[in-house]
């Protein structure tokens, strides 16, 4: 009888231990459309050291974003061009145990405009696609995201590439909410198309994020000012990292670690240590 009691006691304790043990939440990163081609890794940058890699990032046991599904649409900054293709979407999914669908292609714009011969060559080298045969604008690539998956949030990048287009390419905000009425050859028309598409197909909130260090870029600032109007019209959220002085100060103080020399693209460390906490804070606020 004593032996039976001993094994019964051991079995109960093992069961309790198993029930109380926390398992690491699973995460998933899904690349859609154009995938990881021609990643400009810049291994020599201190911010791309292995200790800042996605593999080294631990997953939280508990997170308010655990199990959340988020769609991302953007260009090289969303892609992670100088960070081994490991950007905010990847870091957020891994850190919080969520799922991120990542539709990102370097060198692309929200405005749907024909690529110049020079830009077509660059795009072909960077992403391995021929822009003369394939429409790479945001409004075209949003169709790569699955309609049979319900996201909790849609994240849109205000692409720095649009700020290099002619000033008139910014466009104007329409009085309509019909996708057929938007001028897709303009940045604002493209943004409104995306807002309408998300509302019509996924009915989830939209977060538009902007880049730091560009408050002196007149065209990007004009795009940002109009983005606030678009967000107001469509009840979208904005993560404004352009005019956030405190956020930019942190970035400048750690510039050599957080940024590539071009001043546009973060490193792995920049995404993980600088951007990720800000995104987590904002997205948690939206989805609470």
**In this structure, are residues 282 and 207 in contact, taking their beta carbons and an 8 Å threshold?**
yes
Mean pLDDT by 10 residues, the chain (288 residues): 47 47 79 62 85 96 97 94 94 98 90 74 62 76 96 97 92 95 96 98 98 96 98 98 97 97 95 98 97
- pTM for this prediction: 0.88
DSSP state of 123: H
Strands lying side by side in the sheet with 99-104: 28-31, 99-104, 69-74, 153-157, 206-209, 237-239
- State the pLDDT at residue 126: 58
- State the pLDDT at residue 272: 98
- State the pLDDT at residue 115: 65
* Torsions phi, psi for 67 (to 5 deg): 80, 0
- State the pLDDT at residue 236: 98
Beta strand spans in 203-265 (E): 206-209, 237-239
- State the pLDDT at residue 106: 84
Residues whose CB is less than 8 angstroms from the CB of residue 243 and which lie 6 or more positions away in sequence, other chains included: 215, 224
**What distance in Å separates the CA atoms of residue 254 and residue 270, rounded to the nearest whole number?**
9
Tell me the CB-side half-sphere exposure of residue 125, using CA atoms within 13 A: 7
- State the pLDDT at residue 18: 43
Number of C-beta neighbours around residue 252 at 10 A: 11
Number of C-beta neighbours around residue 54 at 10 A: 21
């Amino acid at each position: 009888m004593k032996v039976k009691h001993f094994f019964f006691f051991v079995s109960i304790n093992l069961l309790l231990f198993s029930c109380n043990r926390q398992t690491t939440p699973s995460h998933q990163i899904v690349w859609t459309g154009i995938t990881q081609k021609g990643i400009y890794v810049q291994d020599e940058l201190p911010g791309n050291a292995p200790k800042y890699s996605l593999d080294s990032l631990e997953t939280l046991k508990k997170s308010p974003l655990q199990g959340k599904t988020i769609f991302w649409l953007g260009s090289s900054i969303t892609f992670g061009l100088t960070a081994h293709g490991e950007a905010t979407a990847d870091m957020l999914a891994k850190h919080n145990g969520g799922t991120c669908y990542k539709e990102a292609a370097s060198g692309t714009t929200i405005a749907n405009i024909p690529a110049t011969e020079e830009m077509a060559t660059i795009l072909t080298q960077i992403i391995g696609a021929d822009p003369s045969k394939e429409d790479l604008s945001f409004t075209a690539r949003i169709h790569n995201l699955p309609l049979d998956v319900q996201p909790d949030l849609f994240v849109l990048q205000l692409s720095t590439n649009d700020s290099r287009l002619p000033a008139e390419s910014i466009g104007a905000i329409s009085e309509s909410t019909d996708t057929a009425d938007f001028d897709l050859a303009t940045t604002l028309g493209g943004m409104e198309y995306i807002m309408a598409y998300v509302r019509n197909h996924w009915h989830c909130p939209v977060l538009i994020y902007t880049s730091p260090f560009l408050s002196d870029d007149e065209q990007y600032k004009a795009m940002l000012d109009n983005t606030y109007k678009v967000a107001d019209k469509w009840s979208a959220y904005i993560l404004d990292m352009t005019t956030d002085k405190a956020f930019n100060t942190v970035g400048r103080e750690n510039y050599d670690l957080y940024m590539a020399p071009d001043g546009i693209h973060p490193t792995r460390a920049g995404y993980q240590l600088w951007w990720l906490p800000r995104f987590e804070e904002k997205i948690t606020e939206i989805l609470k």
